[in-house]
Amino acid sequence: MMTALWDALKRGVSTSRRGAALGLAYGAGPLFACAGALLQDAAFGGAMLGGRSFGLAFPNNHLAMFAAVAPLLLLAGVAFAMFTLPASRPSADSGSLLSEMAVGVRQFLGNRAVWTAVAIYVVVYSGGNAIFANVSLHAKSVLGDQADTLGMQSFLRFGFKAGAGAMLGWLLAAASPRATLLATTSILLAGMAWALGSSGWWFMATFGLLGAGELFGAYFPNYVTTASEKRFVRVNMAYLSVLSALIGFSSLAFGAISDRHGRIASFAVAAGLLVLALALIAALLPADPTPRERPADAGESP
């Protein structure tokens, strides 16, 4: 899905208008997720709604929620089927499948902005998203085992994301693709700092900050797409998706750190990873990585 999405954006939305497109998608889109969080809360007891709920017992509450979501996923698939994307054209220097794959690997490793951004994406993903499960578990330690905050976590996560989505879209249009990487990573770092320094119900703001910073998952792919030649967007986004599997090791590491030294220690490690990522972004990534398209690519139909 990610590969197809960004290929469509590269071909269908000019770089100058991508800020408006992403601002609309991630400014308005999370508002629907906020509504979904309220409905989820109503299905599981209604803690956020003053005890008002649908009155469904387990497992019917889960079944109802999944049944409501399934048609929306189908609608998204139908909507994407309306896109027309050109078939991939073999490169002039390609032959067999293996040689075509070799061309993709060579261009990936030869495009410094692309592979550097992908490597930093893995670091940010590790420090800012893989830690989310630990933060969620820690809420009960802060607020007590009887506190059911899952619905509130989702509401804050997507509510903050809606506000940040609109502002980050403006930032992309007014500044540069790199500026959005610095912004989202900084927001994640602020979230981890908040988790380390807050107590009581103030701790819940952590979910809002991490939700807003979670938009790194849109703006790193945007950076990779911007840095890629049109014909290699699919290849580079596929590599980004495959290398994201490395995040699983960070989740294991955070679990081991929590078991040995406590969850607060895992928060500190995550914050350290985000500081490292900020330094790498500032030092290694150009502000505008737009490549010079080859004549064959520039002549392709959108």
Question: Is the torsion defined by CA of 45, 50, 55, 61 positive or negative?
Answer: negative
Q: Which 3 state secondary structure label does DSSP give 301? A: coil
- Contact at 8 Å (CB) between 186 and 140? no
Query: Could you give the CA distance from residue 193 to residue 269 in angstroms, rounded to a whole number?
Result: 11
Residue 92 burial by CB count (10 A; 0-12/13-18/19+): exposed, middle or buried?
Answer: exposed
User: With pLDDT > 90 as the criterion, what percentage of the chain qualifies?
Assistant: 49
Ordered by start, the domain boundaries in the chain are: 2-27+107-291
- Quote the tokens at residue 5: 């999405």
pLDDT digits (tens, 9 = 90+) for 112-135: 999 999 999 999 999 998 898 899
Mean pLDDT across 72-81 = 89
The pLDDT of residue 11: 86
Q: Which 3 state secondary structure label does DSSP give 275? A: helix
State the average pLDDT for the chain: 87
- Quote the tokens at residue 208: 């809002």
* pLDDT at 301 > cutoff 50: no
For domain 2-27+107-291, give its CATH number from 3.40.50.1100, 2.40.30.210, 3.40.50.880, 1.20.1250.20.
1.20.1250.20
| DSSP tally for the chain: helices H, then strands E | 14, 0
Cβ count near 274 (within 10 Å): 26
Phi-psi category of 73—alpha, beta or left, where left has phi over 0 and alpha has psi -120 to 50?
alpha
pLDDT digits (tens, 9 = 90+) for 15-59: 888 899 999 989 888 888 888 888 888 887 777 777 777 888 888
Cis preceding linkage at 59, omega within 30 = yes
Non-local CB neighbours of 134 within 8 Å, separated by 6+ positions? 254, 255, 258, 263, 266, 267
Question: Is the torsion defined by CA of 108, 113, 116, 118 positive or negative?
Answer: negative
Q: Which of 153, 248, 251 is nearest to 210 (CA)?
A: 153
Mean pLDDT across 85-97 = 65
Query: Could you give the CA distance from residue 58 to residue 70 in angstroms, rounded to a whole number?
Result: 19
pLDDT category at 172 given cuts 50, 70, 90 is very high
Query: Could you give the CA distance from residue 300 to residue 302 in angstroms, rounded to a whole number?
Result: 6
- Contact at 8 Å (CB) between 127 and 273? yes
* pLDDT at 246 > cutoff 50: yes
Mean pLDDT across 222-231 = 93
| Residue 89 DSSP label | P
